[in-house]
Amino acid sequence: MLAIESDALSKVYRSGMFRRQEVTALTGFSIQVETGQIFSLLGPNGAGKTTFIKMLLSLAAPTSGSASVLGRRLPDVRVREKVGYLPENHRYPGYLTGEQVLRYFGALGGAPSGALPGRIATLMELVGMSQWRTMKVKKYSKGMMQRLGLAQALINDPEIIFLDEPTDGVDPVGRKEIREILRDLKRRGKTIFLNSHLLSEVELVSDRVAVLDKGHLLKVGTVDEMTATGQAYVIGITGTLPDTVTVAARAFVIGLSQQGENVTAECRTTAELNQVIDLLRRNNVEITSVTRQRSTLEESFISLITGEGRP
Amino acid sequence: MKIITLVRGTIRELAAKATLYVLAGISTLMLIFAALAIGADSTADGMSITFFGKPASPPVTHDTLAELAGKLEAGFAGGLFFGVVVFGVLGTAGVIPDALEKGTVDLYLSKPIARWQLLLGKYLGSVAVIFLNILYFIGGLWLIVGVKVGVWNTQFLLSAFLLTYVFASLYAVVAFFGVVSRNMAIAIIAGILYLLLVAGPLESRQTGLYLLSESGVYRGILDGLYYLFPQIPAMESGAIHLISGEQALVTPFAQSLLSAGGILGLAAWLLQRRDF
């Protein structure tokens, strides 16, 4: 079953006198997210990422199109029984302690009151907040608030967890811990929908990634698909490539260059790559490694946003 | 069940605010004053209520004394009404705008609760806190008058519910503007202005606004508005009459219930249509 499905979802916000000012937040957005995946939505500020989550949670109504969560067509209040949400810039009541926040929102989420104390203790431990659970939230740092927010999103043992900038304000050690929590949740079959600006982190945890810009979906795929750069390969060798080999190889590949002990071969097919390898071996060049050349997710993202990498 | 959780959450939220402690503090000072001031003196000619030990009335029979005590209690309740309106609205007007603030409303509405439930839970929580404040004062004064004068006026005790009912009607207007504006200051100003510029003039329209024009349409519109909105002054005066042991009209209470319900319904409808 698909965890999330949207079909040509669009959102236009209207404001001003007589609601005449229009801002298009999302245009014809269609994606499918399978259960048990970590799916990340990337995009610059104002791309429509948060709007999409808000429409899935019925916080905003679509202007057109449709969406479903866990097989239920939206809007459907019952969907929210199986969903956890960590909003961006969330505000918890400062007069409550961390533990009280979880009890309050757990009760609102419909968790049985008998099960809450145990669940709160487990979650506080999970997000590393056990020792501050009785401290008033108004004394929490930004990082502590994010950890509490993550625990709040998990309090009702949801099937899908929407996280909007979950590592915002969290230190590197904390970010690593959150990544581990996300991986653990995935192992337990949960679906995680992530909005984040921290592309290096998204790259580390995501199964699939979608890139949005100005409300339009630019590309969707696995991290490997997003970062692959055509048929370029990096061949590790010892020593220097003889000029005769370089000339011979350039006769059948798009390009060949050497930098240090790495030879980059731009091929049209894997057959060409094998031809290059055969050529090197015939000329007694020792090969130490062969890897497909990749860009980072950040490079791919920037390339897509600036238009260079658009399909 | 979720509405009860919201009501309890709102009570806790308001308990953390200073404004309502001011109201409770004023109530306490008034109770101390009443405890020190009010007394009764028994002579061969009958009983009289004393004020700081001096007779405030000529000696009367017990029945007349009960009537006098009722009037005394009604006077205090009238004073309390002003305090409830001013401090009650000041203390609770922020509840709904705060719940609808970005970063907070997302948390609430990501849970399986309907928007009308959120509104109703916050509304009832605020009213419950004001009820507790009123009950504290009315209950305290009832005890003081009962112990010191020997008159146990149960109708005065019931006035805690009546005054809460009046506040709840006014608070529907405050809640409506809280939903529309999502701004505490606007909700407060709207509530007070409604009381001063709408409810008051409409109540006394026959001796005030009617004089501006003799047009039947104009006067019909005024009458229509009067029956459309909660009749706060009429209910306040009815409550005071009941405490004094006099008859009071039920109509303003029934009409205000419908009106406040309609206003809250409209607020819930607007809330349902809003994007967050």
Its ipTM equals: 0.84
Predicted confidence at residue A308, as pLDDT, reads 66
> A287-308, pLDDT tens digit by residue?
999 988 877 788 888 888 887 6
Residues 98-117 of A with CB under 8 A from B: 104-105, 107-110
**Any chain A CB within 8 A of the CB of B109?**
yes
**Any chain A CB within 8 A of the CB of B4?**
no
> A64-102, pLDDT tens digit by residue?
999 999 999 988 888 999 999 999 889 999 999 999 999
Closest Cα of chain A to B176: distance in Å? 20
Contact B2 A110 (CB under 8 A): yes
d(CA A90, CA B102): 8
For residue A59, give the chain B residue with the closest CA. Answer: B276
**Any chain B CB within 8 A of the CB of A227?**
no
Tokens of A142: 């930004």
Confidence of residue B260 (pLDDT cuts 50, 70, 90): very high
Confidence of residue B156 (pLDDT cuts 50, 70, 90): confident
Output phi, psi for B7, to 5 deg. Answer: -65, -45
DSSP track, B79-107: HHHHHIIIIIHHHHTTHHHHHTSTTTHHH
> B33-72, pLDDT tens digit by residue?
889 988 887 777 777 888 887 887 777 777 787 888 888 8
Indicate whether A190 pLDDT > 90. Answer: yes
Tokens of B238: 């009815």
Indicate whether A311 pLDDT > 70. Answer: no
**Any chain A CB within 8 A of the CB of B13?**
yes
Residues 72-91 of A with CB under 8 A from B: 77-78, 80-81, 83-85, 87-91
Tokens of A229: 């750069």
d(CA B274, CA B80): 37
- Chain B partners of A108 at a C-beta cutoff of 8 Å? 2, 5-6, 108, 111, 113
Whether A285 contacts A199, CB under 8 Å = no
CA angle (A156, A159, A165) in 5-degree steps = 85
- Choice among A91-95, A200-204, B7-11 with the minimum mean pLDDT: A200-204
Indicate whether A275 pLDDT > 90. Answer: yes
Which residues neighbour B5 within 8 Å (Cβ) at sequence distance 6 or greater?
Answer: A104, A107, A108, B121
- Chain B partners of A60 at a C-beta cutoff of 8 Å? 275-276
**Any chain A CB within 8 A of the CB of B18?**
no
Contact B103 A89 (CB under 8 A): yes
Residues 50-69 of A with CB under 8 A from B: 54, 57-61
Closest Cα of chain A to B189: distance in Å? 23
Contact A108 B2 (CB under 8 A): yes
Confidence of residue A270 (pLDDT cuts 50, 70, 90): confident
> B93-121, pLDDT tens digit by residue?
999 999 999 999 999 999 999 999 999 99
Pairing of strands A160-164, A191-195: parallel
Indicate whether A277 pLDDT > 80. Answer: yes
Q: At what angle do helices A243-250 and A270-282 cross, to 10 degrees?
A: 160
Predicted confidence at residue A298, as pLDDT, reads 81
For residue A154, give the chain B residue with the closest CA. Answer: B111
Predicted confidence at residue A309, as pLDDT, reads 59
d(CA B132, CA A289): 77
Closest Cα of chain A to B52: distance in Å? 43
Q: How far is CA A111 from CA A181, B98, B223, in A?
A: 21, 24, 50
- Chain A partners of B276 at a C-beta cutoff of 8 Å? 54, 59-60
Predicted confidence at residue B1, as pLDDT, reads 81
Which residues neighbour A12 within 8 Å (Cβ) at sequence distance 6 or greater?
Answer: A22, A23, A24, A25, A63
Reported pTM: 0.85
> A218-241, pLDDT tens digit by residue?
989 998 888 876 678 899 999 888
Closest Cα of chain B to A258: distance in Å? 53
Mean of pLDDT values over A193-215: 89
Predicted confidence at residue B206, as pLDDT, reads 83
- Chain A partners of B104 at a C-beta cutoff of 8 Å? 90-91
Which residues neighbour B74 within 8 Å (Cβ) at sequence distance 6 or greater?
Answer: B156, B240, B241, B243, B244
Q: For chain B, which residues make up each domain, given as ranges?
A: 2-273
d(CA B137, CA B82): 13
Pairing of strands B46-51, B38-43: antiparallel
CA angle (B212, B217, B222) in 5-degree steps = 60
> A30-64, pLDDT tens digit by residue?
999 999 999 999 988 889 999 999 999 999 999 99
Contact A59 B101 (CB under 8 A): no
Closest Cα of chain B to A17: distance in Å? 15
